[in-house]
Amino acid sequence: MNDLDEAPPKFDAAFQDKLEHLIVWRRDVRRFRTDPVDPELVHKLLALADHAPSVGNSQPWRFVLVENAEKREGVRALFEKANNEALADYEGGKAALYARLKLAGLKEAPVHLAVFTDIETAQGSGLGRRTMPETLDYSAVTAVYTLWLAARAWDLGVGWVSIIDPVEVRTLLEVPACWHLVAYLCIGYPQEEHLDPELERRGWQARTDFDKRVTIL
């Protein structure tokens, strides 16, 4: 597939239709089955994510598979702390609803993946990030989302945990100080499949009308 002599692919209507289904059926998963994921499949997904776009071809993403039980438990504790602090921001019915939401599957998910940006990488020689240095992080985000979509196509679910202090995660995992946490991901087989986001189903936030987000100038 990576042969430079290969002809460019053609994408037909059947593929386009399936791709639409992939995009609209991708969910942020928090309810995982505990059965393991084949490490070769995980490696394959990471290798695909490595084909994400990156500013100046810098490939700044750094993938850390967290298998160590103590580290995983540490991450879970950091999530619990941040989640309790977040709960304190809400009042009344909204607080009660927040408390009932399941916002991470850190205990059940067989695969934990931390994704960092190496903000000091020399690769790319700085091209494209002089006025928008944040594009390094954005590159890592596209790697996360590549993995997310591919995972869905292989029947896996991904949940993005952002209710966590990124510096505390970096410290816990003992990675270099120049690595910036972009995402902490739970990966595993989902217990259920839905077309609507869980936050919509549970009454936190429904999708809103698309057209109001488009302006023609």
Q: At closest approach, how far in Å is the CB of 207 from a copy of itself? A: 7
State the Cα–Cα distance between residues 186 and 217, nearest whole angstrom: 40
175 contacts 53 by C-beta, under 8 angstroms: no
Q: At closest approach, how far in Å is the CB of 8 from a copy of itself? A: 4
Q: At closest approach, how far in Å is the CB of 51 from a copy of itself? A: 5
Q: Which residue lies nearer to a copy of itself by CB, 35 or 217?
A: 217
State the Cα–Cα distance between residues 169 and 144, nearest whole angstrom: 17
161 contacts 167 by C-beta, under 8 angstroms: no
**C-alpha angle 124/138/123, rounded to 5°?**
15
Structure token digits, residue 167: 């510096």
Q: At closest approach, how far in Å is the CB of 187 from a copy of itself? A: 14
Residue carrying the six token digits 């995402």: 183
Three-state secondary structure call for residue 125: coil
Q: Which residue lies nearer to a copy of itself by CB, 65 or 108?
A: 65
Q: Which residue lies nearer to a copy of itself by CB, 37 or 152?
A: 152
Strands 61-65 and 157-161: unpaired
Structure token digits, residue 49: 């994510």
Count Cβ atoms within 10 A of the Cβ of residue 205 and give its class: 0-12 exposed, 13-18 middle, 19 or more buried: exposed
Q: Which residue lies nearer to a copy of itself by CB, 108 or 165?
A: 165
Q: At closest approach, how far in Å is the CB of 131 from a copy of itself? A: 5
